[in-house]
Amino acid sequence: MEQILAYFFTYKEAIFIIALSIFVGIEVISHVPSVLHTPLMSGANAISGVIIIGGIILVGHADTSTLSLELILGFFAVIFATLNVVGGFVVTDRMLEMFKKKKK
22-51 residues near another protein, rule: CB under 8 A: 22-26, 28-51
The answer to whether 15 contacts another protein (rule: CB under 8 A) is: no
Q: How far is CA 58 from CA 38, 46, 48, 55, in A?
A: 32, 20, 17, 5
Candidate residues 6, 8, 12, 86; the one interacting with another protein per rule CB under 8 A: 86
Please name the residues in contact with 62: beta carbons below 8 A apart, sequence gap of 6 or more: 68, 70, 71, 74
Least distance between another protein and beta carbon 13 (Å) = 9
CA distance 80 to 74: 10
The answer to whether 18 contacts another protein (rule: CB under 8 A) is: yes
The answer to whether 98 contacts another protein (rule: CB under 8 A) is: yes
The answer to whether 8 contacts another protein (rule: CB under 8 A) is: no
Candidate residues 60, 66, 67, 104; the one interacting with another protein per rule CB under 8 A: 60
